[in-house]
Amino acid sequence: MPRVVVDVMLKPEILDPQGQAILGALPRLGFDGVRAVRQGKRFELDVVDEMTEQTVRRIAETLLANPVIEEFTVHTG
């Protein structure tokens, strides 16, 4: 698994001020019809072949995400 992607999002019940700001800006720019926006972070990791998904998950919960308020998904392959 040389390339791993980790997506980090705020947990759904947590307030997302940036997402709300984007939502507020869209109609001002003429884009109607968007009902909700939530934004997050994407990490692309180049890793050695022996790297296990378990280790990637540990990396994600230790450094990439704040598990108190965020959740993450790991995409491999």
In 3D space, the residue among 31, 35, 41 whose CA is nearest the CA of residue 63 turns out to be: 41
Residue 73 touches another protein, criterion: CB under 8 A: no
* Angular region, 30: left φ>0, alpha ψ -120 to 50, beta rest: left
Longest pairwise C-alpha distance within the chain: 49
How many chain residues interact with another protein (CB under 8 A)? 14
| Smallest distance, another protein to C-beta of residue 26, A | 14
Q: Which two tokens stand for residue 27?
A: 């109609």
Site string for another protein, 14-43 (x = CB under 8 A): xxxx--xx--x-------------------
Residues near another protein, by CB under 8 A? 10-17, 20-21, 24, 66, 68-69
